[in-house]
Amino acid sequence: MRDFLARLPKVELHLHIEGSLEPELMLALAERNGVTLPYASVEEVHGAYDFSDLQSFLDLYYQGMSVLQTARDFHDLAMAYFRRAHAEGVVHVEMHFDPQAHLVRGIDLAVVMEGLSLARREADRELGLSTALIMAFLRDRDAEEAMWVLEQAAPYWEMLDAVGLDSAEQGNPPEKFVEVFERARRLGIPRVAHAGEEGPAAYILGALDRLDVCRIDHGVRCLEDPSLVARLRDEQTVLTVCPLSNVRLRMVERLEDHPLPRLLDEGLNVTLNSDDPAYFGGGMVDNFLACHRAFGWDEAVFRRLAGNAIEAAFVDESRRDEWRRRLAEA
């Protein structure tokens, strides 16, 4: 099964590039940039990966990204993940990035964009790996700041495949960002949003109705509302589910307890993704293989899931057709 899953052409729709920062690179960048971390070894970094909830993860996540200082750092971060993803059969990565988390550290948006843009071109040229870029707003910060960031990104609007909404969900409903997402809609930028991870099913409804998103990141708590489930099924709204993330952040105690099988039984448009692979136990093959072990899924199920992601990707039809062909041959 591992060999099959590695061959399967996989499209990753839910990846936070800052969350791909492996301990080895974190320590190397800290040394390069003179950043002091409370860890002396890779083992000590791994030892900190015991999260009780989303917030405990975010505290470490923001601490780790403090080593990202220059365009070279963002390039090295992205290329390190692109190479790992390519090696396990990923053909396309849609990466969220968090400009506010860097701006508050004094890192200009131009620095982030220069490094990520260089890595995207290099990945396409050297690996044949295509990418999309999703600029995410931190929902636990002010909507006014998010609007300011969107306007500051004007030189890069053409480079954005979507805007998104992430970070601490509890107490930060989608409705808080209606004006920001309406501005993005008027600019012609697609919208996605995290919803129904820690937050209730009502947050999924809010993201759909008030933010006009084209897909829901996570969305696993939709099952709390049967009418919402029926709507998601009827509209075939894409859910970018992240199995190992949900376990590591204690959404479920064990993967065997995850609602993924029920989501499929309900006929929902589910995709599998890694979220923050450096922190949550692995990349795409690891997430797929964990589901095989937990649920006994066969090759047909994984072809279906991979196909769902191919159809949902922000990509031109020529690439999509190529992936469809490769999927049929896998």
The number of folded domains in the chain is 1
Residue 237 has what pLDDT?
98
Q: Which of 182, 289, 187, 197 is nearest to 248 (CA)?
A: 197
Residue 39 has what pLDDT?
86
**Tens place of pLDDT for every residue, the chain, 330 residues?**
999 999 999 999 999 999 999 999 999 999 999 999 888 899 988 888 878 888 888 888 888 899 999 999 999 999 999 999 999 999 999 999 999 999 999 999 999 999 999 999 999 999 999 999 999 999 999 999 999 999 999 999 999 999 999 999 999 999 999 999 999 999 999 999 999 999 999 999 999 999 999 999 999 999 999 999 999 999 999 999 999 999 999 999 999 999 999 999 999 999 999 999 999 989 999 999 999 999 999 999 999 999 999 999 999 999 999 999 999 999
Number of Cβ within a 10 Å radius of residue 290:
18
List 12, 18, 88, 197, catalytic entry: 197
What is each CA distance from 145 to 134, 160, 179, 211, in whole angstroms? 17, 18, 12, 17
Six token digits for residue 294: 């937990």
Residue 316 has what pLDDT?
96
Six token digits for residue 281: 């136990």
Residue 54 has what pLDDT?
85
Computed on alpha carbons and rounded to an integer, the radius of gyration of the chain in Å comes to: 19
Do residues 291 and 297 make contact, with C-beta atoms less than 8 angstroms apart?
yes
> Is the Cα torsion angle 312, 315, 316, 318 positive or negative in sign?
negative
pTM for this model (two decimals): 0.96
Number of Cβ within a 10 Å radius of residue 53:
13
Domain range for 170 is 2-329
Our answer to whether residue 197 is catalytic in this structure is yes
CATH number assigned to the domain comprising residue 182: 3.20.20.140
Q: How many angstroms separate the CA atoms of 25 and 14, rounded?
A: 21
